[in-house]
Amino acid sequence: DAGVTQSPTHLIKTRGQQVTLRCSPKSGHDTVSWYQQALGQGPQFIFQYYEEEERQRGNFPDRFSGHQFPNYSSELNVNALLLGDSALYLCATTPGLLFNEQFFGPGTRLTVL
Amino acid sequence: GEDVEQSLFLSVREGDSSVINCTYTDSSSTYLYWYKQEPGAGLQLLTYIFSNMDMKQDQRLTVLLNKKDKHLSLRIADTQTGDSAIYFCAETSYQKVTFGTGTKLQVIP
């Protein structure tokens, strides 16, 4: 079992650009949550996808959007990048909507210049 | 909004017990969690406790929950150098999860 995988591992963008991050869930998991972890902080919940729909959303602007595919993999899109979007973006997957068996991927480090 | 607070740093000697504390504000929390994050890695779920429990033990880990004071603690018995990491507590309510800022545990050989 490959666990939760994310791509790319690192990314450098400039302000105003758009970025797409990808996540493949652990085998048997159908729910994907995305988090933003700024340096020295805890992860902040962005949103959760289940059955290809956004189910819950944290306090993030509409510049942050996502998608879930029929194979349960997911993408996080961020438009009009700001310097403050620089962070580690973590994907976590669960079998169903509860967070009790949440497995995290290694993350994508995004740097916005 | 919900708030979860932790002390920033804890240093212990190898073989001693470590106690990491967390306070939260949301009285409707359903589950509370402890995660471990090692450098350059994602988060690893260590254990979780349902809000109507006051204690849970899992090998070297003991979780204590004081719901009245909204206080959660994680005790690691016989702390090893491999336990050095950042530990996050988190709580869920209404299908949203809130993490604390993390406690960095340093284990001195």
Of B44, B97, B100, the CB nearest to A99: B97
CB < 8 Å to B101, chain A: 40-42
**What is the average pLDDT across B52-76?**
95
Residue B1 has pLDDT above 70, yes or no: no
Inter-chain contact B45–A105, Cβ cutoff 8 Å?
A: no
> Residue B29 has what pLDDT?
83
Which A-chain residues 48-87 have CB contacts (< 8 A) with chain B? 48, 55-56, 58-59
Residue B54 has pLDDT above 90, yes or no: yes
Q: Which of A4, A29, A99 to mutate to test the interface with B (most CBs of B within 10 A)?
A: A99
Residue A8 has pLDDT above 80, yes or no: yes
> Residue B95 has what pLDDT?
73
Question: For a pLDDT cut of 90, what percent of chain B falls above it?
Answer: 80
With 0-12 / 13-18 / 19 or more C-beta atoms within 10 angstroms meaning exposed / middle / buried, residue B39 is exposed
CB < 8 Å to B48, chain A: 100
> Residue B30 has what pLDDT?
85
More confident residue, B26 or A6: A6
Residue by residue, DSSP assigns A42-96 as: --EEEEEEETTEEEEE-S--TTEEEEE-TTS-EEEEE-S--GGG-EEEEEEEESS
- A51-101 pLDDT, tens digit per residue, is 999 999 999 999 999 999 999 999 999 999 999 999 999 999 998 877 778
> Residue B4 has what pLDDT?
93
Per-state percent for chain B, helix, strand, coil, to nearest 5: 5, 60, 40
> Residue A99 has what pLDDT?
79
CB < 8 Å to A102, chain B: 45
> Residue A101 has what pLDDT?
81
Mean pLDDT of chain B: 93
Cα–Cα distance for residue pair B44/B30, rounded to 1 Å: 20
Compare all CA atoms of chain B with the CA of A98 and give the residue at the minimum distance.
B95
Residue B91 has pLDDT above 60, yes or no: yes
